[in-house]
Structure 1
Amino acid sequence: MTVGLLVLSNTFMTFAWYGHLKFVELKWFNKMGLVSIVLISWGIALFEYFFQVPANRIGFKEHGGPFSLIELKVLQEVITLIVFSIFTLLLFRTESFRWNHLVGFVFLVLAVYFIFKK
């Protein structure tokens, strides 16, 4: 449950933080000022909180979940990276992943391994 909610929350947050960079292709969006874009992003990010807060609450050991606070944070960061990578590959076709990005991702996965190792 926690992982699913974190995936949903990170999907909304990725759209809030980076989606507006792609929306410039829409003519009506191009005419908006920065304040309007920030407000739209805040509106999208609000939905992120509807999933992030319950994910942390359900997943946290002190509320009956399986994860420590550190484990929750590392899990969230890796999910963020995965969601961002998929988002980038699907919507920003001009971006490319290089070998050094892959090596960095492997190190992050290793970080998850060591954080969760008992």
Structure 2
Amino acid sequence: MPSLPFNAFVVPVVLLLGSNVFMTFAWYGHLKYKHAPLLTVILVSWGIAFFEYLLMVPANRMGSAVYSVVQLKTIQEIITLVVFAGFSAWYLGQPLKWNHYAAFVLIVGAAFLMFYEGPGAAT
């Protein structure tokens, strides 16, 4: 079986990163503008989410060629947490506390288990 190019593994992750930036703004960006009418923020969020889909769908399509669907979803969730942590501190002004970091470490440990095949796993 020929080995896959490095890009086959990296491009889906980069697309997932971009899609998560858009989705985080779509879901949480309006919290800085609580005075804006709800219908307006819903429509703006849908508009932002369109760009998220332009990245997420190809990321999943390409990523499923090199990752299992469970691994792909795990990657997406870790990226979501990283993007949200930065967004929360930078954009919303709500920095993370020690317990948030501790919880994140536990989630990363769980993600490691998703990829771990164990000793003697078939190659």
TM-score interval, normalised by the smaller of the two chains: 0.7 to 0.9
List alignment gaps of at least 5 residues for structure 2: 1-10, 118-123
**1:38 aligned onto 2:37:** no
Q: Which residue of 1 aligns with 2:89?
A: 89
Q: Which amino acid aligns with 1:33?
A: P
The one-letter code sitting in structure 1 at the alignment partner of 2:70 is I
The letter for the 2-side match of 1:36 is T
| 1:84 CA drift (Å) | 0.6
Question: What is the match of residue 4 of structure 2?
Answer: none
Q: CA RMSD in A?
A: 1.1
Cα distance in 2 for residues equivalent to 1:96 and 1:89 = 4
Within 5 Å, give how 1:4-83 maps onto structure 2: 4-24=14-34, 30=35, 32-60=36-64, 65-83=65-83
Aligned residue type for 1:45 = A
Q: Displacement of 1:96 after TM fit?
A: 2.5
Identity of matched residues, %: 48
1:104 deviates by 0.6
After TM superposition, the score normalised by the length of structure 1 is: 0.86
| In structure 2, C-alpha distance between the alignment counterparts of 1:102 and 1:77, rounded to whole Å | 15
Aligned residues: 107
AA matched with 1:110: G
Displacement, 1:51? 0.3
Residue segments in structure 1 that go unaligned for 5+ positions in a row: 25-29
